[in-house]
């Protein structure tokens, strides 16, 4: 029983470390975000409003920034595809 107790905390500690490293990696990628929308090339001005409304997607080391107008068009297209 003692051995099981000892293994689990070690495993959990390693999982926490791995999760922390992944979060740091994602944050570093986010810091390198583009300065314009990836669809319509509208400039991104860093204000409270734009930070809350613009969408950031990080997939396989690629950071994409999408304005609210383009994001709504993308969402409508995805819903249409899912319904078909």
- Domain range holding 78? 2-83
Instruction: Indicate if the alpha-carbon torsion angle 67, 68, 73, 74 is positive or negative.
Output: positive
Residue range 23-34: average pLDDT? 76
pLDDT range class, residue 5, cuts 50, 70, 90: low
User: What backbone torsions phi and psi does residue 56 show, to the nearest 5 degrees?
Assistant: -120, 130
* Residue 7 scores a pLDDT above 70: no
* Residue 43 scores a pLDDT above 80: yes
Q: What is the mean pLDDT of the chain?
A: 83
User: Would you state the structure tokens that stand for residue 67, as one six-digit string?
Assistant: 């304005």
Query: How many Å apart are CA 21 and CA 39, to the nearest integer?
Result: 31
Query: How many Å apart are CA 26 and CA 20, to the nearest integer?
Result: 10
- Which pLDDT score, from 0 to 100, does residue 20 have? 93
The domain tally of the chain equals 1
- Which pLDDT score, from 0 to 100, does residue 71 have? 92
């Amino acid at each position: 029983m003692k051995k099981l107790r000892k293994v689990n905390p070690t495993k959990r500690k390693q999982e926490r470390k791995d999760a922390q490293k992944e979060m740091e990696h994602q944050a570093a990628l986010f810091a390198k975000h583009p300065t314009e929308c990836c669809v319509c090339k509208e400039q991104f001005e860093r204000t409270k409003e734009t930070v809350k409304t613009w969408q950031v997607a990080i997939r396989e080391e690629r950071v994409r920034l999408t304005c609210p107008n383009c994001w709504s068009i993308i969402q409508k297209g995805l819903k249409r595809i899912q319904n078909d």
